[in-house]
Amino acid sequence: MRPYVRSANVTWDGWDLSDVKEMNFSPTEFPVFVLEKGDVLLNEGSGSAKEVGKPAVWHGEIEGACFQNTLLRVRPTKYLPDLLRYALLYMAKSGQFIANTKGVNIIHIGKAGLAKTVIPVPPVEQQQPLLTAIDNAFARADRLEAEAARARALIDRLEAAILAKAFRGELVPQDPNDEPASVLLDRIRAERATAPKPKRGRAAKASA
């Protein structure tokens, strides 16, 4: 029995290994499906076009783990694995994989479809600086997203505070001669209690 990853373990942000299954891999299957550090895997197919092609890089998170054939594996030789993941991520997000997929209910890339996919390869000396620049850009985006979430939470609390001040009469100067709200409400209730109730009856018929 070997642990293995499947399409459910791949997210847009990488791996979700909270639920890793096990199954038997024969002695001939294990060398074929065992994962190595630097392997790039992507979601081979899905019922949703938006989920096809999600990539993740294997960094040896689980020793001796394999992969299921719901994933496609790429073992790069002239490409930094994490930079290749960004290239595949762009292709998946921009719909380039979907354009070449086949299937009706389940959309598949397939090994043949992936083999026909053209991926630009930057010069080796430019790959690490490019990867660093992309990592830094995503880190800045994550910080901005976190700051925006905090700002939204502060705005919600600010709106509640403004409304509370408004109902307490703290937003404008108060005239001490004004009738308090509690007295006004008591007076309205008293007027309603003493007001005559409207009579209900059938409308008189018009004479012929």
Q: What's the pLDDT tens digit per position in 78-102?
A: 899 999 999 999 888 887 776 655 5
User: Rounded to the nearest 5°, which phi and psi values hold at 122?
Assistant: -70, 155
Whether pLDDT at 126 is above 70: yes
Give me the architecture of the 2-120 domain, per CATH.
Answer: Alpha-Beta Complex (3.90)
How high is the mean pLDDT of the chain? 82
Question: Please, which residues have CB within 8 angstroms of residue 186's CB and are 6 or more apart in sequence?
Answer: none
Confidence of residue 207 (pLDDT cuts 50, 70, 90): very low
Helix (H) or strand (E) holding 46: strand 45-46
User: So what's the pLDDT on residue 202?
Assistant: 55
User: So what's the pLDDT on residue 208?
Assistant: 43
pLDDT greater at residue 160 or residue 66? 66
User: So what's the pLDDT on residue 32?
Assistant: 93
Tokens of 193: 């209690």
Which range has the worst mean pLDDT, 78-92, 103-117, 151-165, 182-196? Answer: 103-117
Pairing mode of beta strands 55-57, 40-43? antiparallel
pLDDT greater at residue 195 or residue 35? 35
Whether pLDDT at 133 is above 80: yes
Q: Over the stretch 29-77, which tens digit does the pLDDT of each residue have?
A: 999 999 999 999 998 765 566 777 889 999 999 999 999 988 999 999 8
Whether pLDDT at 138 is above 70: yes
Whether pLDDT at 185 is above 90: no
User: So what's the pLDDT on residue 69?
Assistant: 85
Confidence of residue 184 (pLDDT cuts 50, 70, 90): confident
pLDDT greater at residue 177 or residue 157? 157
Say if residues 67 and 73 touch (Cβ distance below 8 Å): yes
User: So what's the pLDDT on residue 61?
Assistant: 94
Q: Once rounded to an integer, what is the mean pLDDT over residues 158-178?
A: 72
| Overall pTM surpassing 0.85 (yes/no) | no
List alpha helices for the chain, DSSP H: 30-33, 81-93, 96-99, 110-115, 124-168, 181-194
Tokens of 61: 């998170």
